[in-house]
Structure 1
Amino acid sequence: DPLPPPLPKKQLQRAESLPEQGPSRHHRGDPTPWAGSIPPLHLQHEERAPSSIPPWDRPSWGSKKPLTKSQSLGEPVARSSLQKASSPSPAELTFRTVDGELGQLLQSLESPAGVCGVVLGCQAAALARLSARIQEELVGPEERQQLLEAELAGKGWAALSILDREPCCESGDAWYFPVGFTFEQTQLVFAAKVPKLGCSSLGVQSSLGTHCSIQRLIGRFTDHLPRELVLPGSPGQQSWSPSGEEPARLATHPVLQVLISLEVPYQTLAGFVKESHGLHRTSPGHYERLACLLLLQVCMGLEHLRVQSVGQGDLCLENLLLVRCPCPPRSQQSKEASLSLPRLLISSFFKVKDKQRPCSTSQEQDWTEGLAALPSPAADELNVGMLIYRILHVDISLENALGFRSNRLPEIPSLSIYSTGLKRLAVLLLHRDPCKRVSIEQARSILQVLLWGPRQELFARSKKTLALLRSWVEVKRALLLLKFAENSAGAGASPGLEEWLCCQYFKEATEHMLYQVTQALYT
């Protein structure tokens, strides 16, 4: 008889497993990367993205725990596995972090220095989140801007309501008219920018990205100018009858390019400086602090343009716009409205070459032609140096700035604690040797030190060292966060533009940067 067929072999079901986990970065005894140092910037940048949930109100979701060896897929994770998982980083900690995760982090720290490092990391992350939230309050969510751009696409004057027949602001390159637009059953106010002849820069300006110091455009169209709008000084401008109902005579209405801007300017920096002579005399400290804050916004805008590989245009007082920031509650408003800080916008991205004044000497002509031929970033330092003098009401010309007829720059009167520092910055920006000029980035850092320290008296009793500057940054960062907490619980002012600028400084300041800046400023 034939033998029976063999029985089938039994197949064993093996649990699916993952490779062994490598050693944890937070072994007991390993020094924490935050101990005694300022948190790395990459962790700060990760916290900047705005979200619909306030960062400090978000629940602390820990990272998913990895599967360990011999652990089947779908099997509940054992408590012992949770304990072996890596602990959260300081940037991920919030007040709502569960004690289980917090305990894992604390177990990996052996000394008070390690705990101090974690606290410093938490402070840096909180400051980055706070800065992102204030920035969103100032410029609005980017998603909303994109919706407005889509809504305004293809629309012209018919979709806008004219709020004033005369411009609210005239800059060196455009007129601005306030217009209304209905969006989601809400009446919004924008600015219709009518560029002057030969001054349009839409192709450049449309690709600059969002920045607090750069004018944002959300629409464009080409059409005849409505009859009721008045362009000051325009030839053929129509005159109106006393009743204002019918034009007294017909006039030509040229077809013009119109740009829609989110921000409505009320004045140029030139107008502000012209009206502030009295304020500078009566309150020099307040005015020169405002000057530092306005110049800081200019430098930050120029830095953003360089990142975008775009050069600014005719950087002068007439082409820098001022926009009112949201007003605080009445109880928080300053008694002197003129001391409030406006938001400054760079709005010109072209260079007018046919408006150069005649040169008085051949040497000056050589320097002027060289300045015009320089790439825009190289000329920024000279332009900002000139702005310092003009904002401080000191007459200066290109000839004086570059030392054609004298070996020194005009004197800046010492009226406040900011005067000497501003004069020093102007000298560094206008140095005849380009290799010895400070960059726009360095100028921004000098202005930040002038505004928020460290001041020279810090080094009166202690030698300037990196350790001293690191300690100063850490203490000031903690005090800044405490100030915000106290203001939110009391009757203090809500964070605004100046607070955002301050956050930007202490979020990025390092002891090495402060050492270099204080060397340039105080020696």
Structure 2
Amino acid sequence: PSLAELTFRTADGELGQVLRSPAGPGAVVLGCQAASLARLSARMEQELVGLEEQLQLLQAELVGKRWGALRVLEREPCCESGDAWYFRVGITFGHSPLVLAAKVPKPSCSSLGVQSSLGPHCTIQRLMCRFTDHLPRELQLPAHPGEQSHSPSREEQATHPVLQVLICAEVPYQTLAGFVKGSQELHRASPGHYERLVCLLLLQLCQGLEHLRGQHVGQGDLSPENLLLVQCPCPPGGQQGKKEPLGLSLPRLLISSFFRTKEKPRPCSTSQEQDWSEGLAAPTSPAAEEQKLGRLIYQLLHVDVSLEDTLGSRSSRLPEIPSLSIYSAGLRRLATLLLHRDPSRRVSLEQARSILQVLLWGPRQELFARSRKTLPLLQSWVEVKRALLLLSFAENSVGTGGTPGLEEWLCCQYFQEVTEHTLYQTTQALYA
């Protein structure tokens, strides 16, 4: 049997064949750990996102459905992003009631065709179906400032153009902009907790942007107003009472605005005088997303920074990020690398993701205080941390640690994929 097929119940005869491998029992243990992390990661994804087979069946069930097949659960939007309103709607699937989101795009939204062609990913809004229809009378679209909200009357419905509606699997409760605005007090009171949340949200965003780039798709507007937050599923049983308030718990981040890009090589100009705003003006430039990600770090950390100050100024100095927690210096370093004037010295999305993972789960700089950084040292660190992570999952499964959540899944992904070579390059950039 392969290492991925080994379990505690594997017969000793088969286990003996594996142990006679020239690589030795140590390699067998490491292989089993890697396979176990992969299985755990897949199970956590199912708990957080849902079974792909079930989602596909639900998509098939919704084909051809319109407002008449849905139950409107609330008259007013549960969330408003920069390009759409979201309403909670219900449907019975099998014998179970489900809550979905009805996305009503604003006139400025132009990414609907692109969204229909995207492959599934945990950070990409999952489109279940789309249709055009009049807005039901019981729903209210928010009015512009100074106007009153209203639902269309029967007469208005008869003459009013139909609206395009997208039914999405995830129900957002807030945008990232709302999260930032409402978390200033949390940042002051618990800077370590808040800045860890920032790292985890940025990590999800990097993963989503990497996925989109692999499909030659870009994020339409990388601003807090167009990034959605979704509450993670409640832990089962007695853990529900211990659930943290929304402001303290880690939400899933969703990208909901897209555009189709052209395949272009990453720009590599070394001109110090290149205008930083050039990347933002060209949505097909891969460097634009890295620069916007750097600016987003400042916004999440409540550092007042305008677009002109960050990207249009000729000054080489970036706004100062105060040191409030163990994550502050790393986030400051990452923002500097993402917004470097020299495009050849900016870090990529992949490198930014790796830096965030190191900030969250190590190795920290203290590992190299008494030992020179070498590949064997980093390899040993990875192997020990994988073993300790699996022990932690085992202990929590029989204790009071609760069901693994989104943060545990992201951690599991990290130790499933990381190598000593990646760590060497990442720590060189982060701790330079």
Instruction: State the TM-score, normalizing by the size of structure 1.
Output: 0.76
Q: Which one of the candidate residues 406, 420, 423 is aligned to 1:497?
A: 406
| 3-state SS, counterpart of residue 101 of structure 1 | helix
**For the structure 1 residues 446 and 163, does the alpha-carbon distance in structure 2 shift closer, same or farther, using more than 3 Å as the test?**
same
Cα distance in 2, alignment partners of residues 149 and 203 from structure 1: 17
How far did residue 456 of structure 1 move? 0.5
How far did residue 314 of structure 1 move? 0.6
**For the structure 1 residues 472 and 365, does the alpha-carbon distance in structure 2 shift closer, same or farther, using more than 3 Å as the test?**
closer
Cα distance in 2, alignment partners of residues 374 and 315 from structure 1: 10
Which moved further from structure 2: 364-373 or 304-313? 364-373
**1:93 and 2:6 are equivalent in the alignment:** yes
* Map of 1:104 onto structure 2: 17
* Map of 2:387 onto structure 1: 478
* Map of 2:266 onto structure 1: none
Count of aligned residue pairs for this structure pair:
417
Q: Which one of the candidate residues 156, 170, 183 is aligned to 2:93?
A: 183
How far did residue 92 of structure 1 move? 2.3
Letter in 2 for 1:131: S
* Map of 2:328 onto structure 1: 419
Letter in 2 for 1:428: L
Cα distance in 2, alignment partners of residues 250 and 435 from structure 1: 56
Q: Which one of the candidate residues 194, 199, 221 is aligned to 1:314?
A: 221
* Map of 1:269 onto structure 2: 176
Larger radius of gyration: 1
Cα distance in 2, alignment partners of residues 370 and 116 from structure 1: 49
Q: Contact 1:167–1:177 at 8 Å: present in 2 too?
A: yes
Cα distance in 1, alignment partners of residues 258 and 126 from structure 2: 12
| 3-state SS, counterpart of residue 304 of structure 1 | helix
**1:440 and 2:349 are equivalent in the alignment:** yes
Letter in 2 for 1:504: Q
Q: Contact 1:414–1:420 at 8 Å: present in 2 too?
A: yes
Q: Which one of the candidate residues 452, 458, 480 is aligned to 2:367?
A: 458
Cα distance in 2, alignment partners of residues 390 and 318 from structure 1: 12
Cα distance in 1, alignment partners of residues 40 and 30 from structure 2: 15
Cα distance in 1, alignment partners of residues 133 and 275 from structure 2: 43
Letter in 1 for 2:406: L
Letter in 2 for 1:460: A
Q: Contact 1:173–1:195 at 8 Å: present in 2 too?
A: yes
Question: Which digits, 9 at most, give the CA deviation of each residue in 1:210-234, with x for residues without a partner?
Answer: 1110000001100111111111116
Question: Which digits, 9 at most, give the CA deviation of each residue in 1:375-394, with x for residues without a partner?
Answer: 24221100110110000000
Cα distance in 2, alignment partners of residues 205 and 214 from structure 1: 9
How far did residue 247 of structure 1 move? 6.6
Letter in 2 for 1:209: G
Using CA pairs below 8 Å that are at least 6 residues apart, which structure has the higher relative contact order? 2
* Map of 1:516 onto structure 2: 425
Question: Which digits, 9 at most, give the CA deviation of each residue in 1:412-445, with x for residues without a partner?
Answer: 0100000000000000000011111000000000
Cα distance in 1, alignment partners of residues 33 and 149 from structure 2: 61
Cα distance in 2, alignment partners of residues 258 and 97 from structure 1: 52
Letter in 1 for 2:5: E
* Map of 1:139 onto structure 2: 49
How far did residue 205 of structure 1 move? 0.9
How far did residue 312 of structure 1 move? 1.4
* Map of 2:108 onto structure 1: 198
Query: What pairs with 1:322-341 in structure 2 (closer than 5 Å)?
Result: 322-328=229-235, 329-331=237-239, 333-334=242-243, 337-341=246-250
Question: Which digits, 9 at most, give the CA deviation of each residue in 1:131-174, with x for residues without a partner?
Answer: 01101111111111111111111111000010001000000010
Question: Which digits, 9 at most, give the CA deviation of each residue in 1:327-376, with x for residues without a partner?
Answer: 2255472555521100000001149xxxxxxxxxxxx9965455322524
Q: Contact 1:399–1:405 at 8 Å: present in 2 too?
A: no
How far did residue 403 of structure 1 move? 5.6
Which moved further from structure 2: 228-237 or 381-390? 228-237
Q: Contact 1:225–1:254 at 8 Å: present in 2 too?
A: no
5+ residue gaps, structure 2, are 261-272
Q: Contact 2:195–2:325 at 8 Å: present in 1 too?
A: yes
Q: Contact 2:111–2:220 at 8 Å: present in 1 too?
A: no
Q: Contact 1:231–1:237 at 8 Å: present in 2 too?
A: no
**For the structure 1 residues 322 and 379, does the alpha-carbon distance in structure 2 shift closer, same or farther, using more than 3 Å as the test?**
same
Cα distance in 2, alignment partners of residues 366 and 407 from structure 1: 12
Q: Contact 1:230–1:237 at 8 Å: present in 2 too?
A: no
More helix by share: 2
Question: Which digits, 9 at most, give the CA deviation of each residue in 1:80-120, with x for residues without a partner?
Answer: xxxxxxxx3322211121111111222345xxx71111100
Percentage identity across aligned positions?
75
| 3-state SS, counterpart of residue 130 of structure 2 | strand
Question: Which digits, 9 at most, give the CA deviation of each residue in 1:301-327, with x for residues without a partner?
Answer: 001111112111111100000000012
Instruction: State the TM-score, normalizing by the size of structure 2.
Output: 0.91
How far did residue 237 of structure 1 move? 6.4
* Map of 2:185 onto structure 1: 278
Letter in 2 for 1:181: I
| 3-state SS, counterpart of residue 217 of structure 2 | coil
How far did residue 209 of structure 1 move? 1.1
How far did residue 198 of structure 1 move? 3.2
Q: Contact 1:223–1:255 at 8 Å: present in 2 too?
A: yes
Cα distance in 2, alignment partners of residues 366 and 461 from structure 1: 43
Letter in 1 for 2:164: Q
* Map of 1:468 onto structure 2: 377
* Map of 2:32 onto structure 1: 122
